[in-house]
Every structure is written in C-alpha cells, then in structure tokens.
Structure 1
Amino acid sequence: MHPVERAVYKWMSSALLGEQGNTIIIGCSAGPDSIALVHILHALALKCHLRLIAVYVDHGLRPAEIPGERQLVQQTAGKLGLDAEIVEVAAESEAKHYKKSLEHAARDLRYAALHRMKEHYQADYIAVGHNADDQVEEVLLRLLRGSSRKALSAMQQLENGILRPLLQLSKQTLLNYLAEQRIPFCHDSSNDDHSFLRNRIRHELLPLLEQKYDPGIRKALLKTAANLAEDEDFLEGQVQQLWDQVDVPMATSSSPEAMVLSVNRHMVSRYHPALQRRLFERILWSIGTPARYEHILAITKAVSQGRSGSELHLSKGLRVAVFRDHIQFSYPRGRAAWRGSLKNEHSRK
C-alpha cells in the first residue's frame, strides 16, 4: 500500500469508516486533488468495502476545458470499474439571478448536485478532494472576512456527511503520488484567475507571508485551525447541555404564524455570554432565520438588560419579545418582513 493510501486508510479507520460497507459519492473535477482522491479510495475499496461513484459537475464555464475534463473522469471511472455521472448546472445564471459571486454560485450548485446524486444512489457520504493547502487558504479567507471563532476552525474531515480524506495531505504530496503512479489529470485555468479572492490568497498573499514573514506560516495556520476545532468541539458540547437545560419547546404546527419558542431568561443569564451567543445562534438557525452576529448580540443584551415588555425586530418578520421571566421568539405574521410591534398586534386581536 502506498504511504498516501495508508495515511488515508488510517484516518478512515480512526473515523470508523474502514469496514462499514459505505457507498460514497466522489466529487471529481478531473483536477489533481479529486483524481488522486478517486484513485486512493479505489485502492482502499476492497479493504474498506466501499462502493464508489465519481461525479463530475459541469458548471457551464470554461467551454474549452470541459470536454477534456468530462472525458478524463469517464475514462478514469471506466478503467477502475466505477460508476460515473455527469451533472450539468448553470453557474452564471445562478449568480445573476441570486446576485451571488460566480465562485459562490458554482459552489452552491456543485454541492446541490452532489447531494442529489447522494440521494439517487442512497449513498452514505460525499467525498471531496480538499487538501491541507486548501485548509490554509480557507483559514486566511475566513480571517479576512472577519469570521467567527467557529468558522476559523475551518473545514473538518468529517462534517455533515461530507468526507475530506485528503485534508491532512499537502498539495505537493498528492502531486508526487500522481506522478509516481503515472496518473493523468487536468488543470483548471480558473485557478489562475486572480479576480477570485481565494486565488489571490494562494498566489499572492501566502507566498508573501512565507517569504517576508514566516516560512512556516502554513503549519502555523493548520495548527491554529486544529486547536480551534478542538475548542469548538468542547464548546458545542457545553451548548448542547445548555440547550437541554433551558428547555426550548417549539410549536409543532406547520403554520409559521403559530411558531412560538420561549427561553427561560433567568436560566440563560447564569451562563457565560459566549455560551449564550452560541445558544441564540442555534435557536435562530433552528427557526429559519439568518443568525447574524448583530442580532445575536442584541438578544444576549436583552437577556441581561432588556426591559420587560420590550421587543426586538429581526429578519423575516421575527419578533423577540422580552418578559420578566423569559424571552419569546415568534413570527406574528409569518415569515415576511413587516412594520409594527407585538403590542399593536395583540391590541388588534
């Protein structure tokens, strides 16, 4: 077994993925990382009882390169005896319609397509080819965007049904593996486009940091992400305990107007603000509204300082009412923006 394959097998075994007979959708762009991933998982398929399906997502971009990429994915799958799927999506239309960046739109459509394939094949996981260099870039990207501590822990090797078996391997290690095995791959020219922030980080910022500041910056960032991930795991456990203790019942009615969630104000106020913020972040996501940081801070402040009878107006018609004993979340007029207060709403009734 090649050392790279052994490293991936060691991780899969530690994650209890080694002998469970899983079906895995592999996102394969025909680039070096995903092609290496296909070959590595194929090398482990018999030992780990894996069924593998290679999926190429055609974003409708780079028309000169797409035919070669599609052909390589199909040829690779055929040579290895794997199923292969080609899925076409329209990234430019998605970006224009929803006012997203092209990179963001392509990513959303790609993962949506992979999840559809996961459902189609009743697969257990989706595997993608992110490597250690991608992780370093992701940490810097999120840092520049002012992301939270949780976001700075970056990508995890197993997260929400997504496998990243190569996350601890460098790009160069994978390129060496492909060269040693004489495995062909394609080059995506969009990776050279400096209009994308990630590419500027890869080609400009990281080399500058290595040359002018710290040649070990990549290892340092990986260590930071790993430490933060461990901290996040602990804090998530604490938040789960808080969630269980404060008892956050939600109406089971399918009508948004009937959705009401109450949190014991006195119980929550006993906890550190950091745990309170995480609790309210989870609540906002659970009731279908964006968990914006400024909203989370406002709710946390309301717990300690809010006057009984006051209220917060948040996204999509969400109202947060402050009472002496509890904080109440509700959509008085459903999930749609509206002006006015809960007091007026009650007086109408």
Structure 2
Amino acid sequence: MLRKIEKIIRAGGLLVSGERCVVAVSGGPDSMALLHVLARLAPGLGFSLVVAHLDHGLRPEEAEAEAALVREAAASFGLAFVAGQVETMAHAHAQGLSLEHAARDLRHAFLAEVADRHQARRIALAHTADDQAEEVLLRLLRGTGRKGLAGMAMVSGRLIRPFLETEKVEILRYLARKNIPYLIDSSNLKPVYLRNRIRLELLPCLREQYNPGIDLILRQTAAILADEEELLAAMAEKASAIIIALEETDGGLTIELAAFAREPLALKRRVLEAACWRMGCRPSFRQLAQLLHLAERGATGAGLHLAMGLRVAKEPGRLHLAYPLGRKAFRGEAAGR
C-alpha cells in the first residue's frame, strides 16, 4: 500500500519536497493508517508532518484514550502533536446546525488554525473509497447537483485525501499486517445519523439485494461527474466574465441580460449562482429558479429578496444585485419570494 499511496502523491502533486502537512488523526483505523503511511513516506518524498487531534466534546468516555493513542503514535515518529477540544453540542445549538455539520465546521476550523500556525500548505484527511460511495449517496438523498454528486475531491484547496481511491478492507489489512493499534468511535456504530444509516443499512441492502458492486459504481459515477463538472465550471467561469460586472456605485453586481440569454440553461444557472456567491449568498435550488424566471420573464422593476438583505432587481437590460439597506437579516426576506 505504501507504493500505491506514494504513486498517488507523486502523480497528483498532493505533497512536494520541502513543504509541511497537517495530518488529521482521530485515532480510528483510517486516520491511524494515514499517519503511519505518510510518516513512512515523508523522508523519501521530503515533506514534514504535524499531527492534529480534536476532541469534539461528544464522547468524554472515549476521548482520553483516543488522544493518548494519537499522541503516542506521533511521538513514535518524532512528530509534533497538537490537540484541541471543542464543544460541538453548544456550537450546534448556537448556530442552528446539526451535530454533524457543527462538528465538521469546528474540525475544519481547528485544522486550518493548526496549519496556519505551523505554516503547512496541506491538510491530509483520511477519507477512503468507502467514504466516497457513502458521500455520493448522502448527497443524493439530501438533494444536490452535478458538483455535489461528483463527491469529494482528492485535492480541494489545501485539503488532500490520499486514501480516496483505497478501500477500507485494504486499510484494515495494512493495519493488521503492521500491528498498528486503533480505536473504534462508538458513535459510528449507532444508526442515529443519516451517514451511519447509509453505511450500516442502505449500502448493505443495495449490495445484497440489488448490486454487489454498487460501491464501485457510485465511485465511478462520481469520477465521471467530477470530470464533467470541471469542464462546465470552466465554461461557466468564461461566461461569467462576460456577463457579470461590478457595480461601483453600491458595491453590487450586474448581470447583462442580452449575453445571459444566449447561454444554455445549465450555464445560466451557474452564472446566477456565481453572481450570488460573489455577493456572499448561497442560493437554494428554488431561489435559482426564481432568479432564472426573473431574468427571462420578469417585468422591468420586479425583484427578489434573498438572504441577509440581498436584493435582485430587474432593470432595463440587466439584473442588479446589491444590499441597499446593508447586509443583515430582514424578516420575511431571507427565503426569497
């Protein structure tokens, strides 16, 4: 497996000589294997590692043992070890998030802070091929577009996932062969969260009753969609450069409707989405449909109110996006209408 991951790192430029990488290690099988693999490859490839471990404050009865295991593993390789602790439940309640969402946000913020402190260009996560299949199904069930169904990327900004093409069974064999200890997160065995139900119930059902190769099919589909997404994203960026312009008078944006009308529907949606993103708004599918209707069939003077006071007004020959009253929530305007 070492040769396989080394080839992936070299071919994809995941890590290069002279740079530092933060490796996220929970103490579970995947992250412990990732730590050992990267630590063994580091001298030959010329990169250095910092080990980061976060206690999410959700399983106090297991947290101490997990931190100790990761600390010992880091010490065995002579690596710097950084531990953190957050209150996920409190953050979820304060922000109105699910526990999963809150935990992910806090984890990524912690890892980014560690990377900044240690001047690390990369953050290595231990997502596997099995996780990719689960993620595609999860996004499909929650509702998403082509980009979402493309799944996780091997490289996403400073995040890298060297194990994304490696199946769990291969990782477990490696751990057993090398006598590498790991711990099992008990929350992963409870069908409370949707992701766990997909792993414990839905995927086994699909394998047994429909297609034993469903995991591979999901990963292959994600790979195809990722390639197509790359092409569409480039086309949308080119179209957006022509259609979207900065409105200097109020810091807003305009969408030139004559050029917009010449684009196919798929790119129209992406241009509208790009304009909203630039204004700090992530529109829902319903809001994009409303914006499309406004652009194509709305009367001059008509408009929409999106989140945090973002207003989209139809003016002669263009859409105008701005925060006329500043960026803040207004009752009755956040959902769009």
* TM-score of the superposed pair, with normalisation by structure 2: 0.95
Kept in 2: contact 1:28–1:35 (CA 8 A)? yes
After superposition, the Cα gap between the structure-2 partners of 1:214 and 1:192, relative to the gap in structure 1 and judged at 3 Å, is same
Contact 1:18 1:47 in 2 (8 A): no
Range with greater deviation from structure 2 (61-70 or 15-24): 15-24
- Distance in 2 separating the partners of 1:120 and 1:105: 23
- Partner of residue 43, structure 1: 40
Paired position in structure 2 for 1:282: 274
Structure 1 counterpart SS, 2:60: coil
The match for 1:215 is 212
Equivalent residue pairs, number = 333
Structure 2 SS opposite 1:328: strand
Provide the C-alpha distance between the structure 1 equivalents of 2:247 and 2:48, rounded to a whole number of angstroms.
40
Match of 2:328 among 332, 336, 346: 336
Q: TM-score, length-normalised on structure 1?
A: 0.92
Q: Distance in 1 between matches of 2:166 and 2:291?
A: 41
Shift of 1:17: 3.5
Give 3-state SS (helix, strand or coil) of 1:169's partner. Answer: coil
**Letter of the aligned partner of 1:272 in structure 2?**
P
Between the aligned partners of 2:331 and 2:94, the Cα distance in structure 1 is 27
Give yes or no for the alignment of 1:310 onto 2:307: no
Q: Which amino acid aligns with 1:292?
A: S
Matching of residue 116 in structure 1 with residue 108 in structure 2: no
Distance in structure 2 (CA, Å) of the matches to 1:156 and 1:282:
20
- After superposition, residues 59-78 of structure 1 pair within 5 angstroms as 59-78=56-75
Report the CA distance between 1:282 and its aligned residue.
1.5
Shift of 1:259: 2.2
Q: Segments of 4+ in structure 1 off by > 3 A? A: 17-20, 337-341
Going from structure 1 to structure 2, the CA distance change for 1:105 and 1:19 (only over 3 Å counts) comes to closer
* Correspondence for 1:344: none
CA distance in 2, matches of 1:203, 1:338: 42
CA distance in 2, matches of 1:75, 1:20: 26
Counterparts of 1:106-185 in structure 2, within 5 Å, are 106-185=103-182
2:256 aligned to which of 264, 268, 271: 264
SS in 1 for 2:215: helix
Deviates more, 1:166-175 or 1:290-299: 290-299
Q: Give the corresponding residue for 2:235.
A: 238
Report the alpha carbon displacement of residue 72 of structure 1 after superposing the two structures with TM: 0.7
Partner letter of residue 308 of structure 2? K
List runs of 5+ in structure 2 lacking aligned partners: none
Secondary structure of residue in 2 paired with 1:19: coil
Q: CA deviation at 1:312?
A: 1.4
Partners of 2:15 and 2:122 within 8 A in 1: no
State the match for 2:319 in structure 1.
327
CA distance in 2, matches of 1:159, 1:291: 22
1:345 paired residue number:
none
Considering only aligned residues, what root-mean-square deviation do their CA atoms show, in Å? 1.6
User: Tell me, what secondary structure is at the counterpart of 1:65?
Assistant: helix
Decide whether the 8 Å contact of 2:115 with 2:123 is kept in 1: yes
| Contact 1:132 1:168 (8 Å CA) reproduced | yes
Kindly state the Cα deviation for residue 248 of structure 1 after the two structures are TM-superposed.
Answer: 2.0
| Structure 1 residues 99 and 17: alpha-carbon distance in aligned structure 2, compared to 1, 3 A threshold | closer
SS of residue matched to 2:245: coil
1:193 aligns to what? 190
